[in-house]
Amino acid sequence: MTDAANRRPPTAGGQEAGDTGAGPEMPGTGPVPEPLIFTYSRPGRGGAGLPEPDVPVRPVEELVPAELLRREPPVLPEVAEVDLVRHYTRLSQMNYAVDTAFYPLGSCTMKYNPKVNEYVAGLPGFSRLHPYVPDELAQGALRLMYDLERALCEIGGMARATLQPAAGAHGELTGILLIRAYHESRGEGHRYKVIVPDSAHGTNPATAAMAGYKVVEVASDERGGVDLAELERVLDDEVAALMLTNPNTLGLFDENIHRIAEMVHQAGGLLYYDGANANAILGISRPGDMGFDVVHFNLHKTFSTPHGGGGPGSGPVGVTEKLVPFLPAPLVERDPETGRYYLDENRPQAIGRMRSFYGNFAVLVRAYAYIRALGPEGLRRVSEDAVLNANYVMRQLAEYFRLPYDRVCKHEFVLSASNLRERTGVRALDVAKRLLDFGIHAPTIYFPLIVEEALMIEPTETESKETLDRFVAVMKRIAEEAERQPELLKEAPHNTPVRRLDEAAAARRPVLRWRPGGAS
Ligand SMILES: *Cc1c(COP(=O)(O)O)cnc(C)c1O
C-alpha cells in the first residue's frame, strides 16, 4: 500500500470489492513541527488586558535578593490570545482519549464516562466544601460517602469499606495491611507469605513485597485458572493471604473459586480480591459470595472517573465482618436517633490513616452518581454488555490471531501474535503500532506474562457494534498486511504526530520540555 492510499479520504458507506471495511485512517498529522507559538512571537505582542495597578508597586529589585534575580529575561513567546488558544488546542488534538476514539486497552477499562457525572462532581456544594468543615455543615457529602460505601459493599458482598485509598495499588496496600492486622490480632503475626498467581497484575506482588511479605508464585493450569495441585503444594501455616483477580487478567473466570477459598481458609490464610476491573461481575457475582475476605475496586476504571492521564483515582477497600475493626479511621456513621451523619474517629484497632482527609472526594461523587443513575439493573446490564462485546470481538479475531485459551471470556480476552511472528516476524508490538495508523489506541501488549506476544483487549460496554466491527476489520487487515508487507508493520506508525519511539530511551531519558533551538 502506498502512502497516498494510506491517506485516502473517508468514503461514505459502500465497500469496494476486497475492501476490509477497515475504513480510512486518522488524518495524517505528519511530523511534529516547530511550535507555532514561538514562530508567531513578536516583542511586545500579548494577550492580556490587565488594567494599570492603582496601588503602589514596589520594583522587583526591592522584593527579591539580588543573587536570586534572573540576569536575562526568560525566553517566553509573546503572542496574542488567539495564537495561545490555537497552540494548546492543537496540542490537545495530538493526544488520544476515550472522547476521541476507541481505546481497547486491556486491564484498564477505558470506557466512556457519562459527562453528567463531571457536572455533578463540579456542583459547588461538593467542589467548594472545605475538608475541615464541621460535620453539621457537610451532611450531604457525608451521606454521599455513607451511601456509596453501602452500595460498594452490596456490589462486593462485603460488610464495610474504607473510601480512603487513592488508587488501586493503594487499595491493595490497605487491604494487605488489614490482613496483617487481622493475623496479628489472633497471635498469628508469624505468617509471612502472600501467594499470587503467575497471571497476576504486577501491582499484586509489588504490594505484598512492599508490605514486607514474601511473594510466592502459583502457576496457572492449562485452562488459565489457578492450578489446584500447585496451590496445595504452596499452602501452609506461614501463608497470610492469596491475592486473586476473578475473572483474572486473561479475562477468564476461575470456576474453582469456592474450592480455592476453602483451601486457603483451611490453611488459615485470607483471600484478597483485586477488583480493579469489576466490569464483568456487577450485579452478577460478588467477591464476598466467592469466598473473598477483602476486595478493592477501582472507581476510576469501573465506576466512571476518567483516567489514563495519571489520576486522581480512588481504590475503596471492602472487608468482611471479621476485618471491620481494622479499617482506617474515620468511617462515616449515621446516628440512628437523629439521622445525622458523622465522622467516627474512634477506631482503636484501625491500621491507621491511609490518606489525608477522606480520599479523592470528587471521584467518590462520580461513582455515586454513576451507581445511582444505573441502579441494580443498569449495573448488571453494564457487565452483560461488556462480556458480550468482548466475546463478539474475540470470536472474530480468533480467525486471524492465536487464541491461547479458547473459552468464553469475561470483560476482556488475550490473543497472541505468535502465529504472525512465526510466519512473518511481525510481533505484537508491530500490530499495536500499526493500529495507531487507523486511529485506534493499542491494546495492552506483552501482558499477562504467561502468554507470548500477548495482545490484551478490553472493548468495554460503551462501544457500539459499528465501532467493534471496524476494529475487527482493522485487525484483520493488519493480519493480512503482516503476510504481504511485514515491513509496513515493522515501521508503523506512519501517520501519527510522532513515529515509533525508542521506548527504552523514552522511559530513561524522557524529553519533557520543548526548548527553543531543539536542545532537550
Ligand atoms: C489497574 C489495575 C491495578 C492497579 O490500579 P491503579 O489504580 O493503577 O493503582 C491493579 N490490578 C489490576 C488487575 C488492574 O487492572
Cα(146)–Cα(67) distance, integer angstroms: 54
Distance 299 CA to ligand 1 centre (A): 11
Residue 286: pLDDT band with limits 50, 70, 90: very high
- How do residues 94-137 score in pLDDT, each as one tens digit? 889 999 999 999 999 999 999 999 999 999 999 999 999 999 99
- How do residues 434-451 score in pLDDT, each as one tens digit? 999 999 999 999 999 999
Q: Where are the domains of the chain?
A: 1-112+413-457+462-520, 116-373
Distance 18 CA to ligand 1 centre (A): 41
Cα(320)–Cα(444) distance, integer angstroms: 33
- The finding on whether 203 has its CB within 6 A of some atom of ligand 1 is yes
pLDDT given at position 2 = 35
- How do residues 352-392 score in pLDDT, each as one tens digit? 999 999 899 999 999 999 999 999 999 999 999 999 999 99
pLDDT greater than 90 at residue 340:
yes
Q: What order of strands is seen across the sheet that includes strand 239-244?
A: 160-162, 317-319, 294-297, 270-275, 239-244, 193-197, 214-218
pLDDT given at position 516 = 65
**Which bin fits 458, alpha (ψ -120 to 50), beta or left (φ > 0)?**
beta
pLDDT given at position 92 = 86
Residue 498: pLDDT band with limits 50, 70, 90: confident
Chain centre distance of CA 309: 9
pLDDT given at position 517 = 62
pLDDT given at position 47 = 83
Ligand 1 pocket mutation pick from 105, 107, 279 by most atoms within 8 angstroms of CB: 107
Element (H, E) at 513: none
User: Who has greater pLDDT, 283 or 47?
Assistant: 283
pLDDT given at position 16 = 34
pLDDT greater than 90 at residue 310:
no
Please compute the mean of the pLDDT values over residues 64-76 and round it to a whole number: 90
Ligand 1 pocket mutation pick from 274, 279, 300, 363 by most atoms within 8 angstroms of CB: 274
pLDDT greater than 60 at residue 473:
yes
Please compute the mean of the pLDDT values over residues 313-337 and round it to a whole number: 97
CA atoms within 13 A on the CB side of 287: 33
pLDDT given at position 507 = 87
- The finding on whether 168 has its CB within 6 A of some atom of ligand 1 is yes
The answer to whether residues 298 and 167 touch, using CB atoms and an 8 Å cutoff, is yes
Where do runs of H (alpha helix) occur along 157-296?
A: 168-185, 203-210, 228-234, 257-266, 287-290
| Domain covering 1-112+413-457+462-520: architecture | Alpha-Beta Complex (3.90)
Please compute the mean of the pLDDT values over residues 425-441 and round it to a whole number: 97
Lowest mean pLDDT among 73-77, 141-145, 179-183, 342-346: 73-77
- How do residues 175-222 score in pLDDT, each as one tens digit? 999 999 999 999 999 999 999 999 999 999 999 999 999 999 999 999
Among protein residues, the one with the nearest Cα to ligand 1's atom 12 is 276
Residue 518: pLDDT band with limits 50, 70, 90: low
- How do residues 231-275 score in pLDDT, each as one tens digit? 999 999 999 999 999 999 999 999 999 999 999 999 999 999 999
Is the omega angle on the peptide bond into residue 247 within 30 degrees of 0, that is, cis? yes
* End-to-end Cα, the chain, rounded Å: 36
pLDDT given at position 39 = 78
Cell numbers given for 430: 508491530
pLDDT greater than 60 at residue 11:
no
In the chain, % of residues over pLDDT 70: 92
- The finding on whether 167 has its CB within 6 A of some atom of ligand 1 is yes
Mean pLDDT score across all residues of the chain? 91
pLDDT given at position 509 = 87
pLDDT given at position 25 = 39
Radius of gyration of the chain (CA): 26
Q: What is the 3-state secondary structure (H, E, C) of 377-388?
A: HHHHHHHHHHHH
Residue 520: pLDDT band with limits 50, 70, 90: very low
| Domain covering 116-373: architecture | 3-Layer(aba) Sandwich (3.40)
pLDDT greater than 80 at residue 519:
no
Lowest mean pLDDT among 66-80, 192-206, 221-235: 66-80
Cell numbers given for 452: 507470548
- The finding on whether 224 has its CB within 6 A of some atom of ligand 1 is no
Ligand 1 pocket mutation pick from 172, 201, 314 by most atoms within 8 angstroms of CB: 201
pLDDT greater than 90 at residue 425:
yes
pLDDT given at position 33 = 54
Which of 460, 468, 452 is CA-nearest to residue 415?
A: 452
Residue 334: pLDDT band with limits 50, 70, 90: very high
